[in-house]
Chain A
């Protein structure tokens, strides 16, 4: 033991009550700066069927584009009460909901002297479920954001599949993102 990474295993169906006890997570108490948004992430399997026992976690920068973490050493404001982490289970419709603020852009550190620039605002998403042996990591971007065109991460993705990362606003203003684990509309996952 203890030489080599501990291998991953599925979360299984019985994490409720320990890891999470809610279908909706609120990351941003009153007073946190930024545009308040609601997210609805719906999880589906390779056949398009709802996954109602999944766990979704999100991690994001605040509205200024600052991560609440010691690795983010930029001189940008941190918001009291906003960590940027949220966790919710998928409900009977396969949907996990989050209330948060729209994140700001964060830097792209790669590419040497010609590199730099900013990544389009995005939210990092972890997907866990029965039958998923390894955590699946993806990103949520905001449809219609002019910054998408220059985003260096989206440029790494086959243009035909970029749409799987774009949340769209519904009639109530909720940002909706279907996450497909397999199937014709398979979501783009990252190994960062």
Chain B
């Protein structure tokens, strides 16, 4: 018999099905041992996200280049076909049942964050005739204060749709490119995922403290 692809857990690692002190378990635990099943394709295959795997990472900084430690970073995006897992999205593109499209992470002490996701597709949005959003990932950030709150979108370099997108082009020309991630060969995972880097700069602090503090 061929060897199983996945190791079987050694005894004593998972809890038993029945633990009487947890009173819901006696009525919800099989009594007979599970039948030992040699692994087949049915066991060694499973659902995978559709699309091009990406590592999206970067740092949350302030305008002085200082990291924003422990910044909360939230993202949401459509799937590889350009469809959001959202009842309001009526675009005629397939939903990926394994891709929800939302993520949340806290940056580390150096402000560094990382997500593993798939590359979002472009999607039409009816703003004008034949309007397509360039591929993008929505980002929501809390810096240290109410004043530093930011919601934005990350775009991909060299996307031909950028030139035609009124949302991307709403940003003054000199600042627009800050919304483009950069391809990051160093962070790619060979044989597995491409990588993009997106650093986010939140409002910095003035050097001078407020004129007087009360209380």
Contact = CB atoms under 8 A, between A and B. Distances in A.
A14 B86 contact: yes
Contact of B78 (A9, A14, A107, A109): A14
Contacts of B114: none
B170 interface: yes
Nearest to B142: A85
Interface string A103-122: 00001111111011000000
A133 B86 contact: no
A160 interface: no
B140 A19 contact: yes
A86 B203 CA distance: 22
Contact of B211 (A17, A107, A109): A109
Interface residues of B, number: 54
Contacts of B78: 14
A81 interface: no
Contacts, number: 131
A128 interface: yes
Interface residues of A, number: 44
Interface in A58-78: 59, 69, 71, 73-76
Contact of B145 (A10, A53, A71, A74): A71
A143 B175 CA distance: 41
Interface in A1-28: 1-19
B104 A18 contact: yes
B211 A6 contact: no
A162 interface: no
Given A5-B178, A16-B86, 6 more contacts: A1-B177, A1-B180, A7-B171, A18-B104, A59-B146, A133-B170
